[in-house]
């Protein structure tokens, strides 16, 4: 062939050569040069989702105080920092905190921060206390005008009263609660419920103790953003000695954060496919 042709591919069938393809050498050289000089188009990076984490309480508001003296505000902030680290290390999320130090922020301002930054998901992180010290386990809450049960009503009253430290009242009448609930779009409610389910599932996989019937709802002020799916996660109860001891340990807080990161991943995967129902 006098060096004018080059073998470009052989198709094998069994042990033999089925066919041989030839190209003129000049054409092959041109194709090779073009392939070498033309830069490959890099794959388009997916936009990072903005997640707002809300470590509960802070500053002059310590939140719940554990049976051995642990402050809820410290546990919430430490776990939020760990969750932020895990989410950002995946490269898929931009994470903001409503507070990054020990300061007091009114509940309404926390919601405003999420709105202002156009967060795609709002996660409020807590470890409250109850009058019954036997109750333990994590749970997750979504917004509704009426509490799903007496325990959740007590919890919402405690969380909503946090603004007393700033001279504000976090309580609102049933009539106002009804109006707030009507402002929350259907898609937002569905997203909040799906995120709550994802948190419970992830906690179960990571063998983190859960409260009986861990998905509940009540009129939490901090969850009333009209267009941002929002959940409040109680990582355990400071009033229970075992929960408090767990939450004091960095290793346990890492497990809690890992479960919540898994829940965030699941939530956005479901959101990308479209939520289908509330039930």
Q: What distance in Å separates the CA atoms of residue 250 and residue 245, rounded to the nearest whole number?
A: 11
Q: What distance in Å separates the CA atoms of residue 29 and residue 149, rounded to the nearest whole number?
A: 76
Q: Which residues contact 163 (CB under 8 A, 6 or more apart)?
A: 106, 107, 108, 169, 170, 221
The pTM for the full model equals 0.74
The answer to whether residues 58 and 73 touch, using CB atoms and an 8 Å cutoff, is: yes
Residue with tokens 């901090």: 222
Structural domain spans, the chain: 5-37, 49-273
**195 pLDDT tier (thresholds 50, 70, 90):** very high
Q: What distance in Å separates the CA atoms of residue 172 and residue 90, rounded to the nearest whole number?
A: 39
List pLDDT tens digits, range 13-31: 344 444 444 545 454 455 4
Query: Token pair for residue 202?
Result: 């992830």
The residue-averaged pLDDT of 71-99 equals: 97
List pLDDT tens digits, range 232-259: 999 999 999 999 999 999 999 999 999 9
Angstrom CA distances, 16 to 7, 10, 19, 89, 160, stand at 16, 10, 9, 51, 78
Higher pLDDT, 25 or 56: 56
pLDDT computed for residue 119 by the predictor = 95
Task: State the sign of the Cα–Cα–Cα–Cα dihedral 179, 50, 72, 200.
Answer: positive
Count of beta carbons in the 10 Å neighbourhood of residue 243 = 26
pLDDT computed for residue 216 by the predictor = 84
49-273, CATH topology level:
Aminopeptidase (3.40.630)
Residue with tokens 């902030």: 77
């Amino acid at each position: 062939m006098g060096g004018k042709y080059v073998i470009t591919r052989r198709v094998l069938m069994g042990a033999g050569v089925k066919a041989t393809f030839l190209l003129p050498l000049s054409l092959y050289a041109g194709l090779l040069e073009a392939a070498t000089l033309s830069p490959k188009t890099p794959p388009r990076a997916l936009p990072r989702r903005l997640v707002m984490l809300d470590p509960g309480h802070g500053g002059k508001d310590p939140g719940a105080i554990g049976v051995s003296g642990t402050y809820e505000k410290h546990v919430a902030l430490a776990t939020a920092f760990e969750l932020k680290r895990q989410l950002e290390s995946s490269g898929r999320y931009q994470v903001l905190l409503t507070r990054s130090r020990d300061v007091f922020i009114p509940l309404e301002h926390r919601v405003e921060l999420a709105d202002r930054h156009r967060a795609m998901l709002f996660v409020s992180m807590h470890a409250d206390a109850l009058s019954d010290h036997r109750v333990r386990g994590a749970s997750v809450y979504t917004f509704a005008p009426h509490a799903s049960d007496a325990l959740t009503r007590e919890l919402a009253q405690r969380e909503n009263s946090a603004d007393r430290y700033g001279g504000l009242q976090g309580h609102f009448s049933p009539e106002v609660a009804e109006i707030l609930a009507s402002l929350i779009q259907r898609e937002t409610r569905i997203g909040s419920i799906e995120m709550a389910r994802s948190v419970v599932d992830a906690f179960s996989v990571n063998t983190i103790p859960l409260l009986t019937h861990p998905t509940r709802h009540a009129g939490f002020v901090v969850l009333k953003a009209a267009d941002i799916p929002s959940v409040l996660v109680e990582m355990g109860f400071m009033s229970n000695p075992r929960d408090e001891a767990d939450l004091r340990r960095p290793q346990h807080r890492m497990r809690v954060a890992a479960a919540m990161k898994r829940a965030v991943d699941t939530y956005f995967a479901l959101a990308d496919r479209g939520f289908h129902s509330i039930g």
